[in-house]
A and B are shown apart, each in its own frame.
Chain A
Amino acid sequence: MESDMEEYRQEFIQEAREYLDLMNQNFIKLENGDLNAINEIFRVAHTIKGMAGFMGYKNLEELCHKLESAMGRVRDGEIEITSDVVDVMLKAVDAIEETINKIEEENSDDVDVSEIINALGEFMQEGKDEKEMKEVDLSKESFEGANVRVDVYLSEDCIMKSVRAALVVENLSEVSEILTVIPDENDMEKEDFDGHFVVFIKTSDINKIEEVMSKVAEVDKFEISPLEQKSEDKAEQKEVETEVENKEKDRSKVVKDGVKKDVKKDKKLESIRVNIAQLDTIMNLVGELVISKGRLLQIASEYDIPELKEAVSIMDKSITSLQDEVMQIRMVKVERIFNKFPRMVRDLARKLGKKVEFVMEGLDTELDRTVLDEISDPLVHLVRNAVDHGIETPEERVAAGKSETGRIRLAAWREKNNIIIELEDDGKGLDVEKIKQKAIERGIVTQTEADSMSEDELKMLIFAPGFSTKDNATEISGRGVGMDVVKTTVERLGGSVRISSKRGEGTRIRIHLPPTVAIIKSLLVKVGDETYAIPISSVVEALYVTDENWKVIHGNPFLIVRGKLVPAFKLRELFNVVNGKPEREVGIIVEKESEKYALIADTIAEQQEIVIKPLTGYLAKIKGFSGVTILGDGRVVPIIDISSLLGGDRLA
Chain B
Amino acid sequence: MHGESVQVRGGDTVQVIVFNLGDERYGVDISQVREIIRPSQITRIPNAPDYVEGVINLRGQITTIINLRKRFGMRPKPIDNNTRIIVVEFDNAVIGMMVDTVNEVKYLSTADIEDLPSIITAREEAKFLKGVGKLPDGLLIMIDLNKVLSEDEVERLR
Residues of chain A having any CB pair with chain B under 8 Å: 288, 291, 530, 574-576, 613, 615-620, 622-625, 628, 630, 634-638
Q: Is the CB of B93 within 8 A of A636?
A: no
Residues of B within 8 Å of A628, CB to CB, are: 43, 45, 55, 62
Question: Given contacts A575-B46, A622-B45, A635-B41, could you give 4 more A-B pairs where the C-beta distance is less than 8 Å?
Answer: A622-B48, A624-B46, A628-B62, A630-B60
Question: How far, in Å, is B148 (CB) from chain A's closest CB?
Answer: 11
| B57 at the A interface (CB under 8 A) | yes
| B47 at the A interface (CB under 8 A) | yes
A576 to B149, CA, bound (A): 25
- Take A615-B55, A635-B41, A638-B43 as given contacts and tell me if A291 and B60 are in contact as well, using a CB distance cutoff of 8 Å: yes
A211 to B2, CA, bound (A): 64
Q: Is the CB of B151 within 8 A of A618?
A: yes
Residues of A within 8 Å of B48, CB to CB, are: 618-619, 622
Q: A618's contact among B43, B44, B49, by CB below 8 Å, is which? A: B49
Q: Is the CB of A638 within 8 A of B60?
A: no
19 A-B residue pairs with Cβ-Cβ distance under 8 Å, sorted by A, are: A574-B46, A616-B62, A616-B64, A616-B93, A617-B93, A617-B151, A618-B64, A618-B154, A619-B52, A619-B55, A620-B151, A622-B45, A622-B48, A630-B57, A630-B60, A636-B55, A636-B57, A638-B43, A638-B46
Question: How far, in Å, is B76 (CB) from chain A's closest CB?
Answer: 16
Residues of A within 8 Å of B49, CB to CB, are: 618
A617 to B56, CA, bound (A): 14
Q: Is the CB of A530 within 8 A of B64?
A: no
Q: Is the CB of A530 within 8 A of B44?
A: yes
A636 to B45, CA, bound (A): 10
- Take A288-B60, A291-B60, A634-B57 as given contacts and tell me if A617 and B46 are in contact as well, using a CB distance cutoff of 8 Å: no
**Most chain-B CB neighbours within 10 Å: which of A574, A618, A635?**
A618
Residues of B within 8 Å of A574, CB to CB, are: 46
| B95 at the A interface (CB under 8 A) | yes
Residues of B within 8 Å of A620, CB to CB, are: 151
B56 (CB) vs chain A CBs: closest residue: A636
| B66 at the A interface (CB under 8 A) | yes
Residues of A within 8 Å of B62, CB to CB, are: 613, 615-616, 628, 630, 636
A630 to B151, CA, bound (A): 25
A-B CB proximity, top 7 nearest: A575-B46, A636-B43, A617-B93, A613-B62, A616-B93, A636-B57, A618-B154
Question: How far, in Å, is A620 (CB) from chain B's closest CB?
Answer: 8
Q: Is the CB of B43 within 8 A of A576?
A: no
Residues 74 to 104 of chain B near chain A (Cβ within 8 Å): 91, 93, 95
Question: How far, in Å, is B136 (CB) from chain A's closest CB?
Answer: 37
Question: How far, in Å, is A374 (CB) from chain B's closest CB?
Answer: 19
Residues of chain B having any CB pair with chain A under 8 Å: 41, 43-49, 52, 54-57, 60, 62, 64, 66, 91, 93, 95, 149, 151, 154
- Take A618-B66, A618-B154 as given contacts and tell me if A625 and B95 are in contact as well, using a CB distance cutoff of 8 Å: no
Residues of B within 8 Å of A635, CB to CB, are: 41, 43, 57
Residues of A within 8 Å of B66, CB to CB, are: 618
Question: How far, in Å, is B48 (CB) from chain A's closest CB?
Answer: 6
A549 to B3, CA, bound (A): 57
Residues of A within 8 Å of B45, CB to CB, are: 615, 619, 622, 625, 628, 638
Question: How far, in Å, is B98 (CB) from chain A's closest CB?
Answer: 14
A635 to B46, CA, bound (A): 16
- Take A617-B93, A618-B66, A618-B154 as given contacts and tell me if A624 and B47 are in contact as well, using a CB distance cutoff of 8 Å: yes
Residues of B within 8 Å of A615, CB to CB, are: 45, 55, 62, 64
A92 to B42, CA, bound (A): 57
Residues of B within 8 Å of A618, CB to CB, are: 48-49, 52, 64, 66, 151, 154
Question: How far, in Å, is B62 (CB) from chain A's closest CB?
Answer: 5
B90 (CB) vs chain A CBs: closest residue: A617
Question: How far, in Å, is B119 (CB) from chain A's closest CB?
Answer: 30
Question: How far, in Å, is A605 (CB) from chain B's closest CB?
Answer: 15
A218 to B55, CA, bound (A): 58
B58 (CB) vs chain A CBs: closest residue: A636
A613 to B44, CA, bound (A): 15
**Most chain-A CB neighbours within 10 Å: which of B44, B52, B55?**
B55
Residues of A within 8 Å of B44, CB to CB, are: 530
A576 to B44, CA, bound (A): 11
Residues of B within 8 Å of A624, CB to CB, are: 46-47
**Most chain-B CB neighbours within 10 Å: which of A617, A628, A637?**
A617
B52 (CB) vs chain A CBs: closest residue: A618
- Take A288-B60, A622-B45, A625-B45 as given contacts and tell me if A617 and B95 are in contact as well, using a CB distance cutoff of 8 Å: yes
Question: How far, in Å, is B149 (CB) from chain A's closest CB?
Answer: 7
A575 (CB) vs chain B CBs: closest residue: B46
Residues of A within 8 Å of B93, CB to CB, are: 616-617
- Take A616-B64, A617-B95, A618-B154 as given contacts and tell me if A637 and B47 are in contact as well, using a CB distance cutoff of 8 Å: no
Residues of B within 8 Å of A575, CB to CB, are: 46-47
Question: How far, in Å, is B147 (CB) from chain A's closest CB?
Answer: 13
B41 (CB) vs chain A CBs: closest residue: A635
A622 to B151, CA, bound (A): 12
Question: How far, in Å, is A296 (CB) from chain B's closest CB?
Answer: 15
A628 to B57, CA, bound (A): 10
B92 (CB) vs chain A CBs: closest residue: A616
A479 to B76, CA, bound (A): 45
- Take A628-B62, A630-B57 as given contacts and tell me if A617 and B149 are in contact as well, using a CB distance cutoff of 8 Å: yes
Residues of A within 8 Å of B52, CB to CB, are: 618-619
Question: How far, in Å, is A527 (CB) from chain B's closest CB?
Answer: 9
Residues of A within 8 Å of B154, CB to CB, are: 618
Residues of B within 8 Å of A616, CB to CB, are: 62, 64, 93
A620 to B49, CA, bound (A): 12
Question: How far, in Å, is B35 (CB) from chain A's closest CB?
Answer: 18
A536 to B143, CA, bound (A): 44
Q: Is the CB of A617 within 8 A of B43?
A: no
A574 to B93, CA, bound (A): 28
A616 to B46, CA, bound (A): 15
B51 (CB) vs chain A CBs: closest residue: A618
Question: How far, in Å, is A645 (CB) from chain B's closest CB?
Answer: 9
Residues of A within 8 Å of B151, CB to CB, are: 617-618, 620
Question: How far, in Å, is A634 (CB) from chain B's closest CB?
Answer: 5
A532 (CB) vs chain B CBs: closest residue: B46
Question: How far, in Å, is A148 (CB) from chain B's closest CB?
Answer: 55
Residues of A within 8 Å of B91, CB to CB, are: 617
